[in-house]
Amino acid sequence: MQTAFKGIKRKLKRFFPLYVMMIPGLTYIIINNYIPLTGLQLAFKKFKYVQGIWGSAWNGVKNFTYLFKTGDAWTIIRNTLGYNLVFIILGTLFAIFVAIMLNEIKRKKVQQVYQTVILIPYLISYVIVSYITYAALGESNGMINNSILIPLGMEPAKFYTDPKYWPFILTSVQVWKTFGYSSIIYFASIIGIDKAYYEAATVDGAGTWKQITSITLPLIKPVIITLTLLSIGRIFYSDFGLFYQVPMNTGLLYDATSTIDTYVYRGLLETNDVGRASAAGFIQSVLGFLLVLGTNYAVRALEKDQALF
Amino acid sequence: MDLYGKGFSRLANIVLIILSVVCVLPLLLLVTSSLASEQSLLQNGYSFWPRELSLESYKYLWYSRSQILTAYKMTILATTVGTLSNLTITTLMAYPLSRKGLPGRNFFSFMVFFTLLFNGGMIPSYLMWVQVFHIKDTFWALILPNLLMNGFGVIVMRTFFSTNIPDEVLEAARIDGAGETRTLVRIVLPLSTPILSTIALLSGLAYWNDWINGLYYLVKRTDYYTIQNLLNRLIASADFIANNAANSALTAGVTVPSVGIRMAIAVIALIPIMIIYPFLQRGFVKGIVIGGVKG
């Protein structure tokens, strides 16, 4: 007992500097991540700004009934899940396609140039992206109306007042901005494949197409599964930049552009409706968490090595 | 068979050329629009081929340059302070977690990892930063919320340390009498430049492009606006800059080219990244690969 205690003491002394090193990081995650978790209770409270998170009075599930009664809940959940589903399917297919194309480029220098260029949209902030979309879609000044639709004798489109265009616009912008990033991830896993497979296939007379379908795709399947399941785990989260900046927070478009994240922002800072917004935030946090656990469970069942935990 | 392969490679080139054009063309629209005269913008809208070229948008921005320069200064300051702090804190967190003998290692690793799975969302986080830490309308609003340390970065760096720094090296340092801090600074860090530059690059990009913290936390102190915040404000009200500029005697009698000016300022915000990017390109690709494959 005595010696065991001494052992621990010696160990602690030896590792003491390492614990000190962790202090800033641990302090930060406690403040930035753990304390706000206690704020989830706000979803069940009637929030008063002066009373704060912990001082406000309990309110039962009123925030939730209110949220669902107005129909806002339906719109934002439908949009968040619907867009994410489309992004996952289209984004994944497109990224794999581009990665395979990149792999077919034989000259390394050229390959690198393509990689550099398709990554550019990923580096640009959504604020600047919203300037670009405005330049293209603006009603009186926009490029599409002025240089395409009107010269062709068509009616100018009212992009910023009519929600019907937005599922298409948001999907295009999202794919434009992220495909370079995801195709580079898939490309990296394609280069990781042992060249011997392809050599053997060539000897056997298999063409490029055959090689893609029977070597490349089956061998990157684990990566495809993992990345897809991970994005499903984040299906309750939307990119605030995409849905807030690109439609320029336009009220007329909310039906097609409002997601949980933009709704929470507006509830907190614009409409001063913290109750409903925190109910929406609560749904996002908790269902999001359950989904991550569920998808990890699925990854573990399908590809044991790829599971996160 | 060989012809078939060549044909495929040609197809791949065509596809990637088209995609490259699609990636760059929208940026070109910003540039050409910013170089058009206000008159031609009002008549023909933003276009790739403006009727009349003019530098009037840029001239006008030159009048209000102090605002843009201040915003740039804030961007550079926040990016530098933020990235250096992020790199320091992440390293100091990741190194102990990479040490196999450390008691409590699994617990602390889980504490970091859990932040990636579950979070309280924007409202609790906003109220805490504002009501408890009073960062609203301070410089710290640009640095602290969300960007200072990322659990993901810690995990990636920890993995790098434990797979790339052999235990024997650490053991040898210990036998030579080097303390933990000395070992980290003198031995581990010089062997870890790839991961350090990756984390620095990703953190730097996040700070440079961030406008969300400014949107939430900078309400009155618009003098703390970064270039992204300024842009965000301008798209809502193009006269934000015009109002400020109109106050100066220099602009008396000048009409505000408000249509062109928006695009000109977006171009000005875009230029530094486009200049720096080619030099850092390899680092970004490597960072994406490290980050993406693992998680």
* Candidate from B15, B23, B212 with C-beta closest to A117: B23
Mean pLDDT score, B45-69:
88
B31 shares its domain with B75: no
Interface contact flag, B9 A19, Cβ < 8 Å? no
**Residue-level pLDDT at B3:** 45
Q: Where are the alpha helices (DSSP H) in chain B?
A: 2-34, 38-44, 56-63, 65-98, 105-117, 122-127, 140-143, 151-164, 167-175, 180-182, 193-209, 212-217, 227-236, 239-246, 258-294
pLDDT confidence band for B293 (50 / 70 / 90): low
Mean pLDDT score, B215-234:
93
pLDDT of B295 higher than 50 = no
Name the β-bridge partners of A57.
Answer: A46
**Residue-level pLDDT at B139:** 97
The answer to whether B226 touches B214, Cβ cutoff 8 Å, is yes
Domains of chain A, earliest start first: 58-306 (1.10.3720.10)
Cα separation, B23 vs B284, whole angstroms: 17
CATH of the domain at B221: 1.10.3720.10
Q: What are the chain A neighbours of B214 within 8 Å (beta carbons)?
A: none
B21 shares its domain with B129: no
DSSP B38: H
**Residue-level pLDDT at B229:** 94
Residues 6+ apart with CB under 8 A from B167: B100
**A262 interfaces chain B, CB cutoff of 8 Å:** no
Is residue B170 assigned to a domain?
yes
**A104 interfaces chain B, CB cutoff of 8 Å:** yes
Closest by Cα among A14, A23, A24 to B101 = A14
pLDDT confidence band for B249 (50 / 70 / 90): very low
Is residue B266 assigned to a domain?
no
**Residue-level pLDDT at A109:** 92
**B266 interfaces chain A, CB cutoff of 8 Å:** yes
Q: Chain B residue closest to A293 (CA)? A: B117
Is residue B256 assigned to a domain?
no
Domain interval for residue B30: 2-44
pLDDT along chain A (309 residues), means of 10: 71 87 97 94 92 89 92 93 97 96 92 94 95 92 92 92 96 96 93 91 90 93 86 92 94 94 95 92 94 86 74
Q: What are the chain B neighbours of A32 within 8 Å (beta carbons)?
A: 125, 144-146, 148-149
- Higher-confidence position of B255 and B31: B31
**B156 interfaces chain A, CB cutoff of 8 Å:** no
Is residue B98 assigned to a domain?
yes
Interface contact flag, B45 A146, Cβ < 8 Å? yes
Q: What are the chain B neighbours of A223 within 8 Å (beta carbons)?
A: 293
Take residue B56 and report the two structure tokens written for it: 């009037």
pLDDT of B14 higher than 60 = yes
**Residue-level pLDDT at A87:** 97
End-to-end CA distance of chain A: 35
Interface contact flag, A208 B8, Cβ < 8 Å? yes
Mean pLDDT score, B26-42:
92
B216 shares its domain with B185: yes
Residue A194 half-sphere exposure, CB side, CA atoms within 13 Å? Answer: 4
Q: List phi, psi (to 5°) of A189.
A: -75, -25
CB pairs under 8 A between A and B: 294
B30 shares its domain with B70: no
> What is the nearest CA distance from A282 to chain B, expressed in angstroms?
8
Which of B14, B23, B31 should we substitute to test contact with A (largest number of A Cβ atoms within 10 Å)?
B23
**B172 interfaces chain A, CB cutoff of 8 Å:** no
Residue B49 half-sphere exposure, CB side, CA atoms within 13 Å? Answer: 2
Q: How far is it between the farthest Cα atoms of chain B?
A: 78
Q: How far is it between the farthest Cα atoms of chain A?
A: 92
Interface contact flag, A25 B92, Cβ < 8 Å? yes
**Residue-level pLDDT at B240:** 60
Is residue B272 assigned to a domain?
no
pLDDT of B246 higher than 50 = no
Last residue of a domain, one of B232, B247, B262: B247
DSSP B238: T
The answer to whether B180 touches A21, Cβ cutoff 8 Å, is yes
B31 shares its domain with B122: no
> What is the nearest CA distance from B253 to chain A, expressed in angstroms?
25
B22 shares its domain with B154: no
- The one-letter amino acid code at B22 reads V
Cα B205–chain centre separation: 2
Q: Where are the alpha helices (DSSP H) in B35-64?
A: 38-44, 56-63
Cα separation, A36 vs B120, whole angstroms: 5
Take residue A60 and report the two structure tokens written for it: 């039962």
What is the total count of domains within chain B? 2
pLDDT in tens, B200-213: 999 999 999 999 99
Closest by Cα among B200, B127, B116, B184 to B150 = B116
> What is the nearest CA distance from B221 to chain A, expressed in angstroms?
16
Radius of gyration of chain B (CA): 24
Which of B10, B46, B229 should we substitute to test contact with A (largest number of A Cβ atoms within 10 Å)?
B46
Is residue B156 assigned to a domain?
yes
Cα separation, B164 vs B154, whole angstroms: 15
Closest by Cα among A208, A36, A52, A182 to A121 = A182
Cα separation, B290 vs B113, whole angstroms: 17
Cα separation, A8 vs B289, whole angstroms: 40
B118 shares its domain with B166: yes
Is residue B166 assigned to a domain?
yes
B140 shares its domain with B16: no
Name the β-bridge partners of B36.
Answer: B53
Interface contact flag, B29 A135, Cβ < 8 Å? yes
Q: List phi, psi (to 5°) of A91.
A: -60, -45
Which pairs count as long-range contacts for A223-226, CB under 8 Å and 24+ apart, including other chains?
A223/A185, A223/A186, A223/A189, A223/A306, A223/B293, A224/A92, A224/A96, A224/A186, A225/A299, A225/A302, A225/A303, A225/A306, A226/A299, A226/A303, A226/A306
Mean pLDDT score, B261-270:
91
Cα dihedral A51/A42/A37/B136 (nearest 10) = -50
Total residues belonging to chain A: 309
CA of A74: how far to CAs of A11, A82, A272, in Å? Answer: 56, 11, 20
The answer to whether A163 touches A186, Cβ cutoff 8 Å, is no
DSSP B146: T
B226 shares its domain with B158: yes
Mean pLDDT score, B180-195:
92
Is residue B134 assigned to a domain?
yes
B22 shares its domain with B145: no
* Candidate from B89, B92, B228 with C-beta closest to A125: B228
Which of A5, A22, A274, A305 should we substitute to test contact with B (largest number of B Cβ atoms within 10 Å)?
A22
**A51 interfaces chain B, CB cutoff of 8 Å:** no
Cα separation, B285 vs A187, whole angstroms: 11
Q: What is the 3-state secondary structure (H, E, C) of chain A?
A: CHHHHHHHHHHHHHHHHHHHHHHHHHHHHHHHHHHHHHHHHHHHEECCCCCHHHHCEECCCHHHHHHHHCCHHHHHHHHHHHHHHHHHHHHHHHHHHHHHHHHHCCCHHHHHHHHHHHCHHHHCCHHHHHHHHHHHHCCCCCHHHHHHHCCCCCCCCCCCCCHHHHHHHHHHHHHHHHHHHHHHHHHHHHHCCCHHHHHHHHHCCCCHHHHHHHHHHHHHHHHHHHHHHHHHHCCCCCCHHHHHHCCCCCHHHHHHHCCHHHHHHHHHHCCCCHHHHHHHHHHHHHHHHHHHHHHHHHHHHHCHHHCCC
CA of B15: how far to CAs of A98, B12, B159, in Å? Answer: 8, 5, 37
B92 shares its domain with B185: yes
- Higher-confidence position of B172 and B236: B172
Interface contact flag, A37 B119, Cβ < 8 Å? yes
B233 shares its domain with B108: yes
Q: Chain A residue closest to B204 (CA)? A: A123
Interface of A with B in 55-94 (CB under 8 A): none
Burial of B159 (0-12, 13-18, 19+ CB in 10 A): middle
Q: What are the chain A neighbours of B19 within 8 Å (beta carbons)?
A: 98, 114, 118, 179
pLDDT confidence band for B257 (50 / 70 / 90): confident
